[in-house]
Each structure stands twice: as C-alpha cells, then as structure tokens.
Amino acid sequence: MSKTKSHDQPTHEQPTHDRPTHDRPMRIGIAGLGTVGAGVVKIMQRHSDLLAHRAGRRLELVAVAARSRTRDRGVDLSAYDWEDDPVALAKREDIDLYIEVIGGSDGPAKASTTAALKRGAHVVTANKAMLALHGAMLAQLAEEHGASLRFEAGVAGGIPIIKALGDGLAANEVTRVFGVLNGTCNYILTKMARTGRDYSDILEEAKDLGYAEADPTADVGGVDAAHKLALLASLAFGTKTNFDAIAIEGIERITLPDIQFAADLGYQVKLIGSARMTPSGLEQRVAPCLIPNHSAIAALDGVTNAVVCEGDFVGQVVATGPGAGEGPTASAIVADIIDIARGGNRPVFGVPTSTLVDASPLDPGAARAPFFLRMTLNDAPGALAQVTRILGDAGVSIDQMRQHGRAPEPAAVLIVTHEALRSNVQSAVEAIAALPISHDHPVVLQIDKG
Ligand SMILES: NC(=O)c1ccc[n+]([C@@H]2O[C@H](COP(=O)([O-])OP(=O)(O)OC[C@H]3O[C@@H](n4cnc5c(N)ncnc54)[C@H](OP(=O)(O)O)[C@@H]3O)[C@@H](O)[C@H]2O)c1
C-alpha cells in the first residue's frame, strides 16, 4: 500500500462507521478504475461541493485499487492511497463505504464485497453478475452486520429503477416487471430493422463503436439481461434471486426476414427480460420477442434501456434511459453513495432477507401466448401441408403464414400462431425439425403484448 495523502487514522476500539457520522466525512474506497470506477472518481472530483450539500456531509475518497498503477485513466489519482489488493482495501478500517466496480460474479469482486460487509462497511456495486448469483447471501451478510448494500448501477445503468421499485412503488403488489435490459442487443436489432443489414454486419459495427465487447457472448446470448432480471424479480416479488431458473435465449439466430416480417405485421423484435408472478409459479424469461408497435417500449432506439413495472394500484410505469456507459453508471453509483451518506439503510431486496421466499419456477411450457415461427423448408409440393398438419395435431392453430424464396432454393416459411401453449408449440417444432424437408431447427419467438 502506498500513501500519497495523509488522513485521520481512526481509533480502533470501535469501528468508525458505527459512530454517529454526520459531523464527519463519509470515507470511501473504490476497487476497479475502469469505465465505471474512473467515472465515479470524476463525479466525486467535479461535484464535491454539490455532493456534500446533497448528502449533508462531505464524501471523501480515501483509497483506490486496480491492477495497473501506471495506466492512464483520465483522472488524477495522486491524492488517494493505492491498494493492489481489493480485499485489503475492503478491510481498511478507515473506509466507511466500499465501491466494488471490478466485475465478475466471483473472484476479487465477491471476496472484497464479503470482506467489507463482514466488518460492517457499506458496499455500493454495479456488479449484477455477482448479485444475481450471490445476492441472498450478500444481503444476509449486510443485514447481519448493519451495513447497506446498494446496486442501482447494476440494473439499467442510469435509470433509477431499483429505487423506484424498492421505494416509489412500494405500495403496490407488482404483477410483472419486464423490459429491454441490454443496450447492445437493442442496438443490433433496431439497426438491422432500420438499415436492412444482417446480424453479423451490425454486430461488428457495434464492436467498432464500443457498444459491444470484443467477446459479446454475455450480451447477445441474453446472460447479461438475465443477471439484471434476477435482481428486478427479487425486488418486485420478494423472492430470492434464482438465476438458474431463468429461461435464457439470445438474439444470435434472429435474421432480417424475422425482423421484416414482424414489421409487416406491426411488431418490433426486442430482447425482452420478463418476470411475472403467476398462481403456478414465478416466470422468468429472457428471449427475443415480437412487441406491438403501440407498446411503450417498441420505439426504443439504439443502446437505450427500458424497464416497465406493472403494479396493482399504480398501473404501468415505464422508465427509459441510458443503460450503460461511464456517465450513467457512475451517476447511479454516486446516487447510492449519497443515499447511504444521508443515513438511508433499507433492506437490500426491499424486505428483510429472512423473509425472501424461494419461489417455485413456472414450468416454461405452461405459458400461453401467440408465437412467431420461422423455418427453412424444401420448396416441394406438400411441404406446407406437412407443417400445418403437425401444428394442427399439436393443438396450435395458424393465424398467418408467408413464404420467402422458391425452388430450387429452400424457402423461408414464416408463421404466426393464435394463442397456444408453449409446450404444444415446442413439441410441434421438434416434429417439424425432424422432417426430411426441414433444413434447420425452426426459430420460435413469443409475441408479447408489451
Ligand atoms: N461499463 C458499463 O457501462 C457498466 C454498466 C453497468 C454495470 N457495469 C458493471 O460495472 C462493473 C465494472 O465494469 P467496467 O466496465 O468499469 O469494467 P472495466 O472497465 O473492465 O474495469 C474493471 C476494473 O477492475 C480492475 N480489476 C480487475 N481485476 C482486478 C483485480 N484482481 N484487482 C484489482 N483490480 C482489478 C481493473 O484494473 P485495471 O484497469 O488495472 O486493469 C479495472 O480498473 C462490472 O461489474 C460491470 O458489469 C458496467
């Protein structure tokens, strides 16, 4: 550890964070100085007086941790102590609040968060992966040690949806929470729709623009959105985070004909994360869906995120805004810091951890909805008859059907069903996939009311 700045050393008879605090600064350590961490430092430096005014006390950045001491991060760090080890930073007794912006569900992020909470230090994090997998355990630690654990930045970046769900909508029984939770996917899908260019082309463009990671798997595969959904569901329904129960599908198989056919029918294709409490269990799902043009989130463009909460008294509340990036994410982190500095300490997932329930997951096959199917078939006499017979035998009736292409090339066949049981649609699709005339496994997209 190097010290470049002197600061008052605490007495060690009693952890300093347990004292009445408003007469002295809240002392902060940040682990991770990448996109988000550097953004937090910038806000704290630029707005130090404003933040002190709003928090009712000064917010004093004491020490930072990252891997490279020499990397230029666009901020002056000379005033802060440097720690190489995030766990050592989290354990420092002179830090009241530890900011974890390293990332990763386990490793140093989890080890340091655990270390901070165990000594009663407050934690603010943007790490949805860690909380989706270990949220209940960390929330319990926070509670046991009288610490706050906040994660506004972990869900939909700059949109203050965690506070909205936990506080502003607290009078309601929430019936559903859903939204567009991944900006990379929304950028790709809206750009495909607008330009008529295909998936891989737009994905490369998104990487060049910094909207997609070099390895975009977690984004386009739906895992990132599922991490956020796990947290929203826990807050909305008072359930333990259950990431493994989320049915996850990404956007990798979406083609231009899907988007164009959907557009002809009055729909947009969006990657939707949706959690719904039903009498038969909790449905949690991330998948590309067709959303009607009149829905509140259909027009959502580019990397923007949206979260829709449905409450029994409030009705539908829609929040949209920047879902990622340095400024929006750091803004959410600093808002959490201010809340804690003011003395706010609400339960991590809205209710005491001991009362969070293990919701039984809804059987994914039990959902009823209209579906969109796309398959590639030999353009041969009787091919469509085979498909319609299989669907009919499975109890799935057809609303609309369209064919693109003709013999000798295989044809893309696009079908919209009436409302049907997902399990019936799935079994029909397996049978269609097994037909000798079938060229690939059909794509199945739920049509969501939005
Ligand atoms: N970026 C966003 O827009 C965004 C939005 C919402 C949530 N988040 C979440 O915020 C967190 C941080 O994201 P980010 O984009 O800021 O990541 P990032 O740019 O990759 O930064 C990660 C930081 O962690 C440091 N680090 C990594 N391993 C470390 C270790 N073992 N010890 C000490 N420091 C270590 C890195 O140090 P070096 O710089 O020295 O390599 C780097 O400064 C993640 O949980 C992410 O999911 C990010």
Ligand 1 center to residue 368 CA distance, Å? 40
Each residue's pLDDT tens digit, 154-164: 999 999 999 99
Ligand 1 center to residue 70 CA distance, Å? 16
Shortest-distance Cα residue to atom 5 of ligand 1: 324
CB-based contact 271:186 (threshold 8 Å): yes
Q: Is the pLDDT of residue 8 over 90?
A: no
Range in 14-18, 107-111, 175-179, 180-184 with the lowest mean pLDDT = 14-18
Shortest-distance Cα residue to atom 31 of ligand 1: 108
Shortest-distance Cα residue to atom 33 of ligand 1: 66
Residue 50 identity (one-letter amino acid): L
Q: What is residue 363's DSSP assignment? A: P
Residue 228 known to be catalytic: yes
Give the CATH number of domain 170-322; options: 3.40.50.1360, 3.30.70.990, 3.30.360.10, 3.40.50.10800: 3.30.360.10
Shortest-distance Cα residue to atom 35 of ligand 1: 66
pLDDT at position 22: 61
pTM for the full predicted model: 0.93
Domain spans, the chain = 16-154, 170-322, 365-447
Residues 141 and 241: their CA atoms lie apart, in Å, by 15
Which atom of ligand 1 lies nearest, measured to the CA of 66?
34
pLDDT at position 5: 40
Q: How far is CA 438 from the centre of its chain?
A: 35
Structure-token pair, residue 441: 């496994």
Angle CA 318–321–326, to nearest 5: 150
What is the chain's mean pLDDT, rounded? 93
Percent of the chain topping pLDDT 90: 87
* Mutation pick for ligand 1 pocket among 67, 77, 110 (CB with most ligand atoms within 8 Å): 67
Each residue's pLDDT tens digit, 37-88: 999 999 999 999 999 999 999 999 999 999 999 999 999 999 999 999 999 9
16-154 has CATH 3.40.50.300 classification = no
Which atom of ligand 1 lies nearest, measured to the CA of 84?
33
Which atom of ligand 1 lies nearest, measured to the CA of 224?
47
Shortest-distance Cα residue to atom 25 of ligand 1: 32
Q: Could you tell me whether strands 281-292 and 267-278 are parallel, antiparallel, or unpaired per DSSP bridges?
A: antiparallel
Ligand 1 center to residue 191 CA distance, Å? 28
Residues 397 and 393: their CA atoms lie apart, in Å, by 9
Q: Is the pLDDT of residue 16 over 90?
A: no
Q: Quick one: pLDDT band at residue 362, thresholds 50, 70, 90? A: very high
Closest residue by Cα to residue 230 from 240, 216, 222: 240
Residues 362 and 359: their CA atoms lie apart, in Å, by 9
Closest residue by Cα to residue 450 from 156, 155, 169, 178: 178
Ligand 1 center to residue 108 CA distance, Å? 11
DSSP string for 12-63:
SSS-GGGS--TTSPEEEEEE--SHHHHHHHHHHHHTHHHHHHHHTS-EEEEE
Each residue's pLDDT tens digit, 395-450: 999 999 998 888 889 999 999 999 999 999 999 999 999 999 999 999 999 999 88
Which atom of ligand 1 lies nearest, measured to the CA of 154?
7
Q: Is 299 exposed, middle or buried (0-12, 13-18, 19+ CB in 10 A)?
A: middle
Ligand 1 center to residue 37 CA distance, Å? 7
Q: Is the pLDDT of residue 315 over 60?
A: yes
The per-residue b/e assignment along 207-217, b for 16 or more CB within 10 angstroms, e otherwise, is: eeeebbeeebe
Q: Which of 91, 110, 228, 270 is catalytic?
A: 228
Shortest-distance Cα residue to atom 30 of ligand 1: 67
Q: Is the pLDDT of residue 289 over 60?
A: yes
What residues flank ligand 1, with Cβ below 6 Å? 31-37, 65-68, 71, 86, 101-103, 108, 126-127, 153-154, 157, 324-325, 329
Give the CATH number of domain 365-447; options: 3.40.190.290, 3.30.70.260, 3.40.50.150, 1.10.540.10: 3.30.70.260
